Amino acid sequence: MGYDYALVHLQYTIPPAVALTFLYRPLCTSLAIYKVAFLIVIAVISTTPWDSYLIHHKIWTYPPHAILGPTLFSIPAEESFFFVIQTYNTSLLYLLLSTPTFHSIYLCGKKRLRDGRLLWLWAPLGQVFLVGTILAGLSMIVAKGEGLYMGLILAWAGPFILLLWHVRSPPVSTFESNTWRCRTLAYQFILGLPLSSTLLPIAVPTLYLWLVDTWALKRGTWVIESGTKLGLHLWDGLEIDIRQRASYLASIPKTFSYGARIAITEGLSQALARLKQKSRSFYLASGVFQGRLRIDLILLYSFCRVADDLVDNASTVEEARHWVHRLKQFLTISYDRSQRSTRSYIMSVFPESVQSALVFLPTSYLSLPPLYDLLEGFETDLNFSLPNNVFPIHDESALQIYASRVAGTVAESCLELVYHHSLASTSDTYRQEIIQAGGRMGVALQYINIARDIAVDARIGRIYIPTSWLEDEGLAPSDVLKYPKSAKVEALRQRLLDEAMEIYHEAKGAIDRLPLEARGPMKVAVESYVEIGRVLRTRGYKIKAGRATVPKLRRVMVAWKALTE
């Protein structure tokens, strides 16, 4: 009996497991636990017979002075633990590194990789290579010579990788009322994913475990018997052993994410690109939501953004009104379940660049009133151009109504999605209380948005600060339009921020009453935006494209704090 192998774990595999658990803990969901547990079960079941065979045939031995003693099918307990901890570490690293990756957009529809490499060519190439590898492995086993160990590795790992290369998504995936034909092979998905989700989680543990292996082989903690190995060394002390690499590849959950059945790659890609380009706060927050909720929030954002932009970017008020009308018409048709012409209406009336944002709005579980009210809120913006020069936000109550229409409604829709995707059961009254608080939070965020954009809005003739507040400072709307950065306007910005913070503090407790899986991510979404308000309260904040920005590191810290609180 000895402690050598146990020490390998104590020194090299358990510390990274603890560190990765600590890092991943704020992002952990029951889905992630299921994924890791599933992979561990697969790793243990597939490796145990193979390892047991190696030990029985004395290809792989453990000196008795290096192990504690208990065995299962002749495999020392430490080695069985290795299957578990190695898979655990690699899976967690993969999950961490792929947190920002929006897997659904890599599912199908891409015949070419981004850099133009032809994907279809990879299928036969992969097949030939993997089948060749397996055959080579089998022939080395039959020859029973120095290549025996390598042969056993290739013949064992090859079929797993071949299987992964070829897993197919279901032939028909449905999303809402849209049916999309798509058959995806896993290799398309694997090759399409960013390297941070594929190569990195394989390369880092492989290199790390090579180093550990070197150390253990040198100390004699485990031994590969001579006569069964090729004798090739990557560096002094390390046999070429692709076992780790193969098992990492097999342990990466590349294919079966929650959204794996959704073949709306193109629409999702556009929605994600829109979010990434337009809102750094919500883009960061979207990374910590999981599964379908994440997808639907991104789709909701895409719809809101497109609707807002259509109205804001119109060259005349008439054109803007026209878009509001068409958007309302779109909602009416979508929610009139007897009509099946939503898609053709979208295609015939809206520009191609925005069509997918409307097609993929999940109308079957979002209610109509908040979406409709949002469009009514946009109509307020059009009143800035009325000829009588009276500004529509005349007092604080007009401001509140406006903010709850353009942002309270968005909060309501977000929360509808949270509850739709949650298994937690809550009473209607409880839910209504939360949704009401959410609406208030939306108002707070909109106040921050207005406080940030005073100068940007003034350039297009808009002032959202109530006219009555301007009067309190002895200002006329024209003063704000001309000098949006004056000391008096700055005082009004701070007054608006005070209001925003008061509402935020009132409403934020409700986030802790949300279903567990949405709490952390929702805090990240809210806190990332509120941080803009905090920045606006500090002197000498950074301006980018005319707007105050939160530095990247600070945003990440805010997200981390929100998740770990």
DSSP-assigned beta bridge partners for residue 61: 223
Number of H helices, E strands in the chain: 25, 10
According to DSSP, the β-strands at 172-175 and 178-181 are antiparallel
Task: Give the CA radius of gyration of the chain.
Answer: 29
Torsion from C-alpha of 195, 91, 255, 202, nearest 10 degrees: 30
Q: Give the nearer residue to ligand LST6JFWI in terms of CB position, either 193 or 306.
A: 306
Q: Give the nearer residue to ligand LST6JFWI in terms of CB position, either 254 or 405.
A: 405
Residues in region 510-549 near ligand LST6JFWI by CB under 6 A: 510-511, 514, 522, 525-526
Q: How far apart are CA 320 and CA 310, in angstroms?
A: 7
Near ligand LST6JFWI by CB under 6 A: residue from 260, 300, 320, 500: 300
Near ligand LST6JFWI by CB under 6 A: residue from 39, 271, 298, 346: 298
Near ligand LST6JFWI by CB under 6 A: residue from 85, 250, 445, 451: 445
299 binds ligand LST6JFWI (CB under 6 A): no
Site string for ligand LST6JFWI, 260-279 (x = CB under 6 A): ---------------x--xx
**Stretch in the footprint of ligand LST6JFWI (CB under 6 A) among 107-115, 140-148, 164-172, 509-517:** 509-517
308 binds ligand LST6JFWI (CB under 6 A): yes
198 binds ligand LST6JFWI (CB under 6 A): no
Angle at 129 between CA 126 and CA 135, to 5 degrees: 135
**Stretch in the footprint of ligand LST6JFWI (CB under 6 A) among 41-49, 183-191, 229-237, 302-310:** 302-310
Q: Give the nearer residue to ligand LST6JFWI in terms of CB position, either 87 or 290.
A: 290
Near ligand LST6JFWI by CB under 6 A: residue from 438, 477, 484, 520: 438
407 binds ligand LST6JFWI (CB under 6 A): yes
Write out the two tokens for 62. Answer: 């453990």
Confirm if 154 and 134 have CB atoms less than 8 A apart.
yes
- Give least dist CB 360 to ligand LST6JFWI, A: 13
Confirm if 391 and 464 have CB atoms less than 8 A apart.
no
Q: How far apart are CA 222 and CA 60, in angstroms?
A: 7
**Stretch in the footprint of ligand LST6JFWI (CB under 6 A) among 6-14, 129-137, 300-308, 355-363:** 300-308
Q: How far apart are CA 50 and CA 396, in angstroms?
A: 73
98 binds ligand LST6JFWI (CB under 6 A): no
DSSP-assigned beta bridge partners for residue 239: 233
N-to-C CA span, the chain: 45
Q: How far apart are CA 249 and CA 463, in angstroms?
A: 56
Count, residues in the chain: 565
Near ligand LST6JFWI by CB under 6 A: residue from 249, 311, 507, 562: 507
How far is the CA of 507 from the CAs of 175, 379, 527, 529, in angstroms? 34, 27, 12, 14
Confirm if 157 and 243 have CB atoms less than 8 A apart.
yes
Give residues with Cβ within 8 angstroms of 210, minimum separation 6. Answer: 234, 238, 244
- Give least dist CB 248 to ligand LST6JFWI, A: 31
Residues of this chain that bind ligand LST6JFWI (CB under 6 A): 275, 278-279, 282, 285-286, 289, 297-298, 300-301, 304-305, 308, 406-407, 410-411, 414-415, 434, 437-438, 441-442, 445-446, 449, 507, 510-511, 514, 522, 525-526
